[in-house]
Structure 1
């Protein structure tokens, strides 16, 4: 073989075939992103709640990381600003003070009658009137309470006399009915006596008739729960004398 013979040229390269457009890398990446994004829109967040926007708290709450009005402990802050004065009329003064303090109010008191007694025992007074009295030192609001003793009726207006009951007229009634009339005005103590010195009062004088009474009818009874009514009684078969301590049977003359 001739070493100097000319070398034949290499065979020509096969012609380049164009790749379809849908197989090009850029279109593949875009296609994957579109498929993934469409899946999120259609099926929702893969956390398990369809339709939830990423970053939104479960249950439609605030987005994660947004500020909240609830403290870290989960308990809303409590304000001490009063929302309105509590109703204290009718309460014993001790309870009224406790209720007012719990509602954010301070209390001052005064005698609601025409007198000016001090309220040293809070358990012995009740509230008849209440009014606003501004603020003490520019801080808590103050309620002014008009009070009377717990056993007394409230006056018609703050500062007026206490409307104590009057003694009913029980003369002419039997003892049973007289006791009921006295109890109705608050008199608890009734002491019956025989109007005749020579007639002994029985153990049950309910049918005996009242001839005289003390206090007199119409007399104002202050603190009737402590008052005592004295009744002079005559037997059912005897009339009333002209005055107490008479004799039913006159002494025989010598």
Structure 2
């Protein structure tokens, strides 16, 4: 497991500040959701946390070391990253694509039984083990997304960074994916659009608003109705199921679609 921190991070795109003065602390084995409206800086910040963008100011550390001093190979052994619009090369088989996640850990010629077992395990986790020998150009949009996530799982990194991991997935695959991530016990940071899913599956939620960190706290505090209404202009309420004691985040009129997801209790 891996400890991720950033202090005073500012990111610029084409000379314009997109994210400013962000402090985050994600302890080993915990899951943090980054939420915010379009253009709030989620994707830019995720890329900085993955070491793919050098901040204009501030510091990102992994287990106390400056991430941007890592070699590319060491970074690939430490961090698994899946971008928002990343898609598999169409001419590869599904198993070949997922096996690329093993490249940082082995010489290019050393693919044996252990590597294939890890590849199949990653595909099983996203429900695509049956498609191991299928060409990527024969996958649906949701299946392609799941294959890219399987590649990240196959890297077996202590830190997993995901930009909109549930995009293009139906609700069943969304929940199974997030359950899988929780079960890994790895440190996870994910940019999320779906607020009920963020509230249900993540230990803490960081709310970005106009390029600044509005709040970072437990989901029940960070996604309080007043904050959701202020940042997202959507009515919200938090309800407790009298039978189970589980808490729900409910989005009211203006949400598309209106959603309710049960809060998972952290073990």
Greater share of strand = 2
Structure with the greater alpha carbon radius of gyration: 1
Which structure would you say has the larger RCO, counting Cα contacts within 8 Å and 6 or more residues apart? 2
Q: TM (normalized to structure 2)?
A: 0.21
Calculate the TM-score normalised by the size of structure 1: 0.21
Higher helix share: 2
